Chains A and B, each alone.
Chain A
Amino acid sequence: MSHVETVHSLWTLAAAEAPKKIPGPHIEYVQLSPTLIVLGAALLGVLAEAFLPRGVRHRAQLGLAALGLAAAFAAVVALAAGGYASDKSHVAAMGAVAVDGPALFLQGTILLVALVAVFTFAERRLDPAADGRPVDSFAAQAAAVPGGDAEREAVAAGMVTTEVFPLVLFAVGGMLVFPAADDLLTLFVALEVFSLPLYILCGLARRQRLLSQESAVKYFLLGAFSSAFLLFGIALLYGYAGTVTYAGIADVVSGTTRVMDPALAGSTANDALLLVGVAMVLMGLLFKVGAVPFHMWTPDVYQGAPTPVTGFMAAATKVAAFGALLRLLYVVLPGMRWDWRPVMWGVAIVTMLVGAIVAVTQTDVKRLLAYSSIAHAGFILAGVIAATPDGVSSVLFYLAAYSFVTLGAFAVVTLVRDAGGEATHLSKWAGLGRRSPLVAAVFAVFLLAFAGIPLTSGFAGKFAVFKAAAQGGAAPLVIVGVLSSAIAAFFYIRVIVLMFFSEPKADGPTVAVPSPLTSSAIAIGVAVTLVLGLAPQYFLELAGQAGVFVR
Chain B
Amino acid sequence: MSFPLLTATAAVPALGAVATAAVPAERRAAAKWLALAVSLVTLVLAATQLVRFDPDAKGPFQLTESHAWIAAFGVRYDLGVDGISVVLIGLTALLIPFIVLAGWHDADPLETHSSRWRPTQGFFALILMVEAMVVIAFEATDVFLFYIFFEAMLIPMYFLIGGFGDRAGERGEAESATQRSYAAVKFLLYNLVGGLIMLAAVIGLYAVTADQLGSGTFSLTEIVQARAAGKLDFATTTERALFLGFFFAFAVKAPLWPLHTWLPNAMGEATAPVAVLITAVVDKVGTFAMLRFCLQLFPEASKWATPVILVLSLISILYGALLAVGQRDIKRLIAYASISHFGFIVLGVFAMTTQGQSGATLYMVNHGISTAALMLVAGFLISRRGSRLIADYGGVQKVAPVLAGTFLIGGLATLSLPGLAPFVSEFLVLVGTFSRYPVAGAVATVGIVLAALYVLVLYQRTMTGPVAEPVREMPDLRARELAVVAPLIALLLFLGVYPKPVTQLLDPAVAHTMSQVHESDPQPAVHVNDAHVNDVEAAK
Residues on A lying within 8 angstroms of B by beta carbon are 393, 433-437, 448, 453-455, 459-460, 463-464, 466-467, 470-471, 475, 478-479, 482-483, 485-486, 489-490, 493-494, 497, 500-503, 536-537, 540-541, 544
Bound: A538/B474 CA distance, A: 61
| A501 vs chain B, min Cβ distance (A) | 4
| B16 vs chain A, min Cβ distance (A) | 18
Query: A503 and B196: CB pair below 8 A?
Result: no
17 more A-B contacts (CB under 8 A) besides A434-B114, A470-B204? A463-B199, A463-B203, A464-B72, A464-B73, A466-B200, A467-B73, A467-B206, A479-B200, A486-B189, A489-B196, A497-B185, A501-B181, A503-B174, A503-B177, A537-B70, A541-B71, A541-B72
| B395 vs chain A, min Cβ distance (A) | 37
A/B interface sample: 10 pairs, CB < 8 A: A448-B155, A463-B199, A471-B206, A471-B210, A475-B207, A478-B200, A486-B193, A500-B159, A501-B181, A541-B71
Query: A454 and B147: CB pair below 8 A?
Result: yes
| B448 vs chain A, min Cβ distance (A) | 38
| B49 vs chain A, min Cβ distance (A) | 24
What residues on A are CB-neighbors of B189 within 8 Å? 486, 489-490, 493
Known contacts A435-B116, A482-B199, A502-B181; A454 and B152 CB within 8 A of each other: yes
Asked whether any CB of chain A lies closer than 8 Å to the CB of B113, the reply is yes
Asked whether any CB of chain A lies closer than 8 Å to the CB of B498, the reply is no
Asked whether any CB of chain A lies closer than 8 Å to the CB of B151, the reply is yes
What residues on A are CB-neighbors of B149 within 8 Å? 454
Asked whether any CB of chain A lies closer than 8 Å to the CB of B162, the reply is yes
Bound: A27/B189 CA distance, A: 56
Contact with A along B341-380 (1 / 0, CB 8 A): 0000000000000000000000000000000000000000
What residues on A are CB-neighbors of B181 within 8 Å? 497, 501-502
Residues 448-499 of B contacting A (Cβ, < 8 Å): none
| A539 vs chain B, min Cβ distance (A) | 9
| Interface residues of A, dominant DSSP | helix
| Closest chain B residue to A448, Cβ basis | B155
Asked whether any CB of chain A lies closer than 8 Å to the CB of B188, the reply is yes
Pick from B73, B116, B197, B206: contact of A436, CB under 8 Å: B116
Query: B116 and A437: CB pair below 8 A?
Result: yes
Asked whether any CB of chain A lies closer than 8 Å to the CB of B118, the reply is yes
Query: B204 and A500: CB pair below 8 A?
Result: no
Known contacts A454-B147, A454-B151, A486-B193; A437 and B118 CB within 8 A of each other: yes
Query: A455 and B152: CB pair below 8 A?
Result: yes
| Closest chain A residue to B200, Cβ basis | A482
Asked whether any CB of chain A lies closer than 8 Å to the CB of B37, the reply is no
Most buried by B among A436, A467, A489: A467
Bound: A453/B113 CA distance, A: 30
Asked whether any CB of chain A lies closer than 8 Å to the CB of B148, the reply is yes
Bound: A308/B297 CA distance, A: 49
What residues on A are CB-neighbors of B207 within 8 Å? 467, 470-471, 475
Query: A501 and B203: CB pair below 8 A?
Result: no
What residues on B are CB-neighbors of A437 within 8 Å? 116-118
| Interface residues of B, dominant DSSP | helix
| B484 vs chain A, min Cβ distance (A) | 28
Pick from A454, A501, A541: contact of B162, CB under 8 Å: A501
What residues on A are CB-neighbors of B70 within 8 Å? 460, 536-537, 540
What residues on A are CB-neighbors of B315 within 8 Å? none
Bound: A61/B391 CA distance, A: 72
Query: B117 and A486: CB pair below 8 A?
Result: no
Most buried by B among A453, A479, A540: A453
Bound: A483/B173 CA distance, A: 35
| Closest chain A residue to B162, Cβ basis | A501
| A431 vs chain B, min Cβ distance (A) | 10
Query: B197 and A482: CB pair below 8 A?
Result: yes
What residues on B are CB-neighbors of A460 within 8 Å? 70
Most buried by B among A448, A470, A483, A540: A470
- Among all A-B residue pairs, the 7 with the closest Cβ atoms: A540-B72, A501-B181, A454-B148, A470-B207, A454-B152, A482-B200, A454-B151
Known contacts A437-B116, A501-B163; A485 and B196 CB within 8 A of each other: yes
| Closest chain B residue to A487, Cβ basis | B193
| Closest chain B residue to A473, Cβ basis | B207
Pick from A435, A455, A493, A537: contact of B69, CB under 8 Å: A537
Asked whether any CB of chain A lies closer than 8 Å to the CB of B267, the reply is no
Query: A455 and B148: CB pair below 8 A?
Result: yes
Known contacts A475-B204, A479-B200; A500 and B73 CB within 8 A of each other: no
Bound: A483/B177 CA distance, A: 29
What residues on B are CB-neighbors of A478 within 8 Å? 200, 203-204
Asked whether any CB of chain A lies closer than 8 Å to the CB of B184, the reply is yes
Pick from B177, B196, B204, B211: contact of A486, CB under 8 Å: B196
| B71 vs chain A, min Cβ distance (A) | 6
| B311 vs chain A, min Cβ distance (A) | 26
Bound: A437/B119 CA distance, A: 10
Bound: A74/B493 CA distance, A: 69
| Closest chain B residue to A445, Cβ basis | B155
Bound: A193/B511 CA distance, A: 68
What residues on A are CB-neighbors of B192 within 8 Å? 486, 489, 493
Query: A453 and B204: CB pair below 8 A?
Result: no
Asked whether any CB of chain A lies closer than 8 Å to the CB of B284, the reply is no
Bound: A471/B208 CA distance, A: 9
Bound: A540/B72 CA distance, A: 6
| Closest chain B residue to A390, Cβ basis | B72
Asked whether any CB of chain A lies closer than 8 Å to the CB of B180, the reply is yes
Pick from B118, B151, B162, B197: contact of A500, CB under 8 Å: B162
Residues 63-78 of B contacting A (Cβ, < 8 Å): 68-73
Bound: A541/B174 CA distance, A: 50
Query: B152 and A453: CB pair below 8 A?
Result: yes
| B210 vs chain A, min Cβ distance (A) | 6
Bound: A453/B191 CA distance, A: 12
Residues 103-153 of B contacting A (Cβ, < 8 Å): 113-114, 116-118, 147-149, 151-152
| A469 vs chain B, min Cβ distance (A) | 8
| B511 vs chain A, min Cβ distance (A) | 33
| B174 vs chain A, min Cβ distance (A) | 7
Bound: A453/B151 CA distance, A: 7
Pick from A393, A455, A470: contact of B203, CB under 8 Å: A470
Query: B162 and A497: CB pair below 8 A?
Result: yes
Pick from B113, B185, B211: contact of A493, CB under 8 Å: B185
| A351 vs chain B, min Cβ distance (A) | 18
What residues on A are CB-neighbors of B180 within 8 Å? 501
Bound: A169/B149 CA distance, A: 42
What residues on B are CB-neighbors of A471 within 8 Å? 206-207, 210-211
| B205 vs chain A, min Cβ distance (A) | 10
Bound: A437/B184 CA distance, A: 19
Known contacts A471-B207, A486-B193, A502-B181; A540 and B114 CB within 8 A of each other: no
| B162 vs chain A, min Cβ distance (A) | 5
What residues on B are CB-neighbors of A464 within 8 Å? 72-73
Pick from B148, B163, B203: contact of A467, CB under 8 Å: B203
| B198 vs chain A, min Cβ distance (A) | 9
Bound: A478/B203 CA distance, A: 9
What residues on B are CB-neighbors of A486 within 8 Å? 189, 192-193, 196
